[in-house]
């Protein structure tokens, strides 16, 4: 039995709160998980929350979530991966891609060239870790409308 909602995090996001706070803030991934769990439990939904540093594991997690009520994904460095894009395209679940920073305003222009966004219903970028909660709220509000 798969969880209702899946929040998936790609490579290096386990370091959130430890480096580059001027870009990513000071909250940790545990803080993000806590906030996501509060939102889902208030809505009576089961949440599966993962972070992986492995592209293969991320693909397996996407496949496991493919028929769920929704996926929130911060693919991080896997945002430029064709296999991750293909895995997302195979999902019937609505997908919201989240980036903590504004990838269109970063010093490195290539950060905006994500492949994975093509498979997402929508993108939230630059709203800090609040993006995760906003993405969940969208999925909850739109349940059954796809
Ligand atoms: O803004 C985001 O959420 C990103 O997905 C973060 C990725 C980056 O490659 C994307 O372009 C934008 C990097 C994640 C690395 O995680 C760290 C977290 C804290 C400190 C250092 C790295």
pLDDT digit string, tens, across residues 101-142 = 999 999 999 999 999 999 999 999 999 999 999 999 999 999
Residue 62: give the domain boundaries. Answer: 5-141
Q: Which two tokens stand for residue 38?
A: 């509060």
* pLDDT for the residue 146: 60
Backbone Cα Rg of the chain: 14
Give me the number of domains the chain comprises: 1
Structural domain includes residue 146: no
Q: How far apart are CA 8 and CA 122, in angstroms?
A: 15
Q: Is 112 exposed, middle or buried (0-12, 13-18, 19+ CB in 10 A)?
A: middle
Active site residue 99: yes
pLDDT in tens, 68-109: 999 999 999 999 999 999 999 999 999 999 999 999 999 999
Q: What is the CATH number of the domain that holds 27?
A: 3.40.50.9100
Structural domain includes residue 98: yes
**40, 46 contact by CB (below 8 A):** yes
Q: Which two tokens stand for residue 115?
A: 């492949």
Q: How far apart are CA 85 and CA 80, in angstroms?
A: 8
Cα(27) to ligand 1 centroid in Å equals 13
Structural domain includes residue 16: yes
Structural domain includes residue 42: yes
Instruction: Output the residue whose Cα is nearest ligand 1's atom 15.
Output: 12
């Amino acid at each position: 039995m798969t969880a209702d909602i899946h929040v998936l995090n790609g490579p290096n996001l386990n370091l959130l709160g430890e480096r580059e706070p001027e870009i990513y803030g000071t909250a940790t991934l545990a803080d993000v998980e806590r906030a996501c769990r509060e939102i889902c439990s208030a809505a009576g939904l089961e949440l599966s929350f993962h972070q992986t540093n492995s592209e293969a594991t991320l693909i397996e997690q996407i496949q496991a979530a493919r028929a769920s009520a929704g996926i929130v994904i911060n693919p991080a460095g896997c945002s430029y991966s064709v296999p991750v894009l293909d895995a997302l395209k195979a999902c019937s679940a609505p997908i919201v891609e989240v980036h903590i920073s504004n990838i269109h305003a970063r010093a490195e222009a290539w950060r905006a060239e994500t492949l994975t966004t093509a498979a997402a219903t929508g993108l939230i970028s630059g709203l800090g870790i609040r993006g995760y909660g906003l993405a969940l709220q969208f999925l909850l509000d739109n349940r059954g409308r796809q």
